[in-house]
Amino acid sequence: MKVIVIANQKGGVAKTTLTGHLAVAAELAGDGPVAVIDTDPQASLADWWDNRKAETPIFANATLDNLAKQLELLAANGFSYVFIDTQGSFKAEIGWVVAVADFVLIPVKPSPHDLRAVGKTVDMVTGEGKPFAFALTQAKQNATLTVQAVAALSAHGVVSPAIMHDRVDYASSMVDGRTVLETDPSGRSAGETIALWTFVKERINVSTKARKAAAA
Protein backbone atom coordinates (compact mmCIF):
# COMPACT_ATOMS: atom_id res chain seq x y z
CA MET A 1 0.00 0.00 0.00
CA LYS A 2 1.22 3.48 -0.87
CA VAL A 3 0.31 6.56 1.15
CA ILE A 4 0.06 9.78 -0.84
CA VAL A 5 -0.10 13.01 1.15
CA ILE A 6 -1.34 16.20 -0.49
CA ALA A 7 0.41 18.99 1.37
CA ASN A 8 1.19 22.67 1.19
CA GLN A 9 1.45 24.83 4.27
CA LYS A 10 -0.32 27.59 2.38
CA GLY A 11 -4.08 27.44 1.96
CA GLY A 12 -6.11 28.07 -1.16
CA VAL A 13 -4.17 25.79 -3.49
CA ALA A 14 -6.95 23.21 -4.08
CA LYS A 15 -5.58 20.45 -1.83
CA THR A 16 -9.02 18.99 -1.12
CA THR A 17 -10.08 19.16 -4.76
CA LEU A 18 -6.85 17.46 -5.78
CA THR A 19 -7.19 14.75 -3.13
CA GLY A 20 -10.71 13.81 -4.12
CA HIS A 21 -10.02 13.90 -7.83
CA LEU A 22 -6.87 11.80 -7.66
CA ALA A 23 -8.54 9.21 -5.44
CA VAL A 24 -11.39 8.82 -7.92
CA ALA A 25 -8.95 8.76 -10.84
CA ALA A 26 -7.05 5.91 -9.19
CA GLU A 27 -10.25 3.93 -8.65
CA LEU A 28 -11.46 4.48 -12.22
CA ALA A 29 -8.04 3.46 -13.56
CA GLY A 30 -8.36 0.11 -11.79
CA ASP A 31 -5.64 0.91 -9.28
CA GLY A 32 -7.82 0.42 -6.21
CA PRO A 33 -8.99 -0.27 -3.70
CA VAL A 34 -8.45 3.32 -2.61
CA ALA A 35 -9.12 5.11 0.68
CA VAL A 36 -9.13 8.79 1.57
CA ILE A 37 -8.34 10.38 4.93
CA ASP A 38 -9.08 13.95 5.99
CA THR A 39 -6.69 15.47 8.56
CA ASP A 40 -7.86 19.04 7.98
CA PRO A 41 -9.96 20.37 10.91
CA GLN A 42 -12.24 22.06 8.37
CA ALA A 43 -13.19 18.57 7.15
CA SER A 44 -13.94 19.65 3.57
CA LEU A 45 -12.94 16.27 2.14
CA ALA A 46 -15.15 14.50 4.67
CA ASP A 47 -18.06 16.75 3.68
CA TRP A 48 -17.45 15.92 0.02
CA TRP A 49 -17.44 12.20 0.75
CA ASP A 50 -20.62 12.45 2.85
CA ASN A 51 -22.40 13.79 -0.24
CA ARG A 52 -20.99 11.08 -2.49
CA LYS A 53 -23.28 8.33 -3.80
CA ALA A 54 -20.55 6.08 -5.18
CA GLU A 55 -19.18 3.55 -2.73
CA THR A 56 -15.56 4.13 -3.71
CA PRO A 57 -13.13 5.44 -2.70
CA ILE A 58 -13.86 4.60 0.91
CA PHE A 59 -13.45 7.16 3.67
CA ALA A 60 -11.29 6.15 6.63
CA ASN A 61 -11.79 8.06 9.85
CA ALA A 62 -8.48 8.94 11.42
CA THR A 63 -7.03 11.45 13.83
CA LEU A 64 -3.40 12.42 14.13
CA ASP A 65 -3.18 10.20 17.21
CA ASN A 66 -4.41 7.03 15.49
CA LEU A 67 -3.29 7.74 11.91
CA ALA A 68 -0.49 5.17 11.92
CA LYS A 69 -2.80 2.50 13.33
CA GLN A 70 -5.49 3.28 10.75
CA LEU A 71 -2.96 2.97 7.95
CA GLU A 72 -1.87 -0.41 9.29
CA LEU A 73 -5.50 -1.59 9.20
CA LEU A 74 -5.99 -0.35 5.64
CA ALA A 75 -2.83 -2.12 4.51
CA ALA A 76 -3.94 -5.32 6.22
CA ASN A 77 -7.26 -5.10 4.38
CA GLY A 78 -5.60 -4.96 0.98
CA PHE A 79 -5.89 -1.29 0.05
CA SER A 80 -3.55 -0.17 -2.72
CA TYR A 81 -3.49 3.60 -2.21
CA VAL A 82 -4.45 6.02 0.54
CA PHE A 83 -4.77 9.73 -0.20
CA ILE A 84 -4.49 12.09 2.76
CA ASP A 85 -5.72 15.69 2.71
CA THR A 86 -3.97 18.14 5.04
CA GLN A 87 -4.72 21.53 6.49
CA GLY A 88 -3.46 24.75 4.96
CA SER A 89 -1.55 26.47 7.72
CA PHE A 90 1.97 26.65 9.06
CA LYS A 91 1.55 24.07 11.80
CA ALA A 92 3.68 21.18 13.00
CA GLU A 93 0.76 18.79 12.56
CA ILE A 94 1.31 18.72 8.80
CA GLY A 95 4.80 17.35 9.41
CA TRP A 96 3.30 14.49 11.42
CA VAL A 97 1.18 13.51 8.43
CA VAL A 98 4.05 13.87 5.97
CA ALA A 99 6.07 11.51 8.18
CA VAL A 100 3.78 8.59 7.23
CA ALA A 101 3.83 9.34 3.49
CA ASP A 102 5.35 7.24 0.76
CA PHE A 103 5.00 10.18 -1.60
CA VAL A 104 4.05 13.84 -1.17
CA LEU A 105 2.33 15.89 -3.85
CA ILE A 106 2.67 19.64 -3.34
CA PRO A 107 -0.02 21.62 -5.16
CA VAL A 108 1.08 25.15 -6.04
CA LYS A 109 -0.94 27.99 -7.47
CA PRO A 110 1.19 29.85 -10.06
CA SER A 111 1.34 33.22 -8.34
CA PRO A 112 4.32 35.12 -6.93
CA HIS A 113 3.04 34.87 -3.36
CA ASP A 114 2.43 31.13 -3.62
CA LEU A 115 5.83 30.52 -5.15
CA ARG A 116 7.51 32.44 -2.35
CA ALA A 117 5.59 30.51 0.30
CA VAL A 118 6.21 26.99 -1.03
CA GLY A 119 9.77 26.86 0.31
CA LYS A 120 8.59 26.08 3.84
CA THR A 121 6.67 23.06 2.63
CA VAL A 122 9.62 21.82 0.58
CA ASP A 123 11.89 22.17 3.62
CA MET A 124 9.45 20.18 5.74
CA VAL A 125 9.10 17.38 3.18
CA THR A 126 12.82 17.09 2.46
CA GLY A 127 13.49 17.19 6.19
CA GLU A 128 11.39 14.04 6.50
CA GLY A 129 13.29 12.51 3.58
CA LYS A 130 10.14 11.98 1.52
CA PRO A 131 9.98 11.85 -2.29
CA PHE A 132 7.79 14.61 -3.69
CA ALA A 133 6.67 16.47 -6.77
CA PHE A 134 4.88 19.70 -7.55
CA ALA A 135 1.52 20.01 -9.28
CA LEU A 136 0.32 23.35 -10.59
CA THR A 137 -3.31 24.07 -9.78
CA GLN A 138 -5.74 26.87 -10.66
CA ALA A 139 -3.50 27.86 -13.55
CA LYS A 140 -4.71 30.33 -16.17
CA GLN A 141 -4.75 29.13 -19.75
CA ASN A 142 -1.76 30.31 -21.81
CA ALA A 143 -0.48 32.47 -18.97
CA THR A 144 3.20 33.43 -18.96
CA LEU A 145 3.22 33.11 -15.17
CA THR A 146 2.41 29.40 -15.44
CA VAL A 147 5.52 28.82 -17.57
CA GLN A 148 7.58 30.90 -15.14
CA ALA A 149 6.22 28.90 -12.21
CA VAL A 150 7.25 25.61 -13.82
CA ALA A 151 10.76 26.96 -14.33
CA ALA A 152 11.00 28.25 -10.76
CA LEU A 153 9.71 25.05 -9.17
CA SER A 154 11.93 22.86 -11.36
CA ALA A 155 14.93 24.23 -9.49
CA HIS A 156 13.62 22.53 -6.34
CA GLY A 157 12.05 19.31 -7.61
CA VAL A 158 10.08 17.50 -10.28
CA VAL A 159 7.05 19.35 -11.66
CA SER A 160 4.12 17.46 -13.12
CA PRO A 161 3.60 18.19 -16.81
CA ALA A 162 -0.12 17.69 -16.15
CA ILE A 163 -1.49 21.06 -15.01
CA MET A 164 -4.90 21.60 -13.40
CA HIS A 165 -6.24 24.77 -14.97
CA ASP A 166 -8.58 27.27 -13.37
CA ARG A 167 -12.01 25.95 -14.32
CA VAL A 168 -15.30 26.11 -12.45
CA ASP A 169 -16.09 22.46 -13.12
CA TYR A 170 -13.46 21.24 -10.66
CA ALA A 171 -15.27 22.85 -7.74
CA SER A 172 -18.82 22.51 -9.03
CA SER A 173 -18.44 18.78 -9.59
CA MET A 174 -17.65 18.31 -5.91
CA VAL A 175 -20.85 19.94 -4.65
CA ASP A 176 -22.73 16.62 -4.74
CA GLY A 177 -19.76 14.38 -3.97
CA ARG A 178 -18.49 13.78 -7.47
CA THR A 179 -15.50 14.85 -9.58
CA VAL A 180 -15.05 16.02 -13.15
CA LEU A 181 -14.25 12.42 -14.03
CA GLU A 182 -17.88 11.63 -13.34
CA THR A 183 -19.65 14.81 -14.39
CA ASP A 184 -17.77 15.28 -17.68
CA PRO A 185 -15.48 12.30 -18.29
CA SER A 186 -14.53 13.43 -21.79
CA GLY A 187 -13.80 17.04 -20.79
CA ARG A 188 -10.45 18.80 -20.53
CA SER A 189 -10.47 18.81 -16.73
CA ALA A 190 -11.01 15.05 -16.64
CA GLY A 191 -8.10 14.63 -19.04
CA GLU A 192 -5.87 16.73 -16.80
CA THR A 193 -6.83 14.68 -13.77
CA ILE A 194 -6.12 11.36 -15.47
CA ALA A 195 -2.76 12.66 -16.71
CA LEU A 196 -1.85 13.87 -13.22
CA TRP A 197 -2.67 10.50 -11.66
CA THR A 198 -0.57 8.76 -14.31
CA PHE A 199 2.31 11.08 -13.44
CA VAL A 200 1.95 10.53 -9.68
CA LYS A 201 1.85 6.76 -10.09
CA GLU A 202 4.98 6.85 -12.24
CA ARG A 203 6.83 9.00 -9.71
CA ILE A 204 5.88 6.60 -6.92
CA ASN A 205 7.27 3.71 -8.96
CA VAL A 206 10.48 5.64 -9.59
CA SER A 207 10.97 6.44 -5.90
CA THR A 208 10.16 2.86 -4.90
CA LYS A 209 12.78 1.46 -7.30
CA ALA A 210 15.35 3.99 -6.10
CA ARG A 211 14.72 3.06 -2.48
CA LYS A 212 15.08 -0.66 -3.23
CA ALA A 213 18.28 -0.05 -5.18
CA ALA A 214 19.74 1.97 -2.31
CA ALA A 215 18.92 -0.80 0.14
CA ALA A 216 20.44 -3.54 -2.03
Model confidence, pTM? 0.96
CATH 3.40.50.300 fits 2-215, yes or no: yes
- Band (pLDDT 50/70/90 cuts) for residue 164 is very high
pLDDT confidence of residue 212:
83
Whether the pLDDT of residue 15 is over 70: the answer is yes
In tens, the pLDDT along 188-215 reads: 999 999 999 999 999 999 998 888 888 8
Domain positions in the chain are 2-215
Stretch 148-158: mean pLDDT, rounded? 95
Q: What 3-state class would DSSP assign to 106?
A: strand
Q: What is residue 211's predicted lDDT score, i.e. its pLDDT?
A: 82
pLDDT attached to residue 187: 97
Per-residue pLDDT tens for 18-30? 999 999 999 999 9
What does the mean pLDDT of the chain come to? 95
Q: What is the pLDDT of residues 82-116, one digit of tens each?
A: 999 998 876 678 899 999 999 999 999 999 999 99
CA 97 from chain centre, in angstroms, equals 13
What is the Cα Rg of the chain in Å? 16
Q: How confident is the model over 111-143, as pLDDT tens digits? A: 999 999 999 999 999 999 999 999 999 999 888
DSSP state of 165: B
C-alpha span between 25 and 182 (Å, rounded): 10
CB 103 within 8 A of CB 204: yes
pLDDT tens for 28-44 read: 999 999 999 999 999 99
pLDDT confidence of residue 126: 95
User: What integer pLDDT is reported at residue 90 of this predicted model?
Assistant: 64
pLDDT at 129: 95
| Rounded distance between C-alpha atoms, residue 209 and residue 213, angstroms | 6
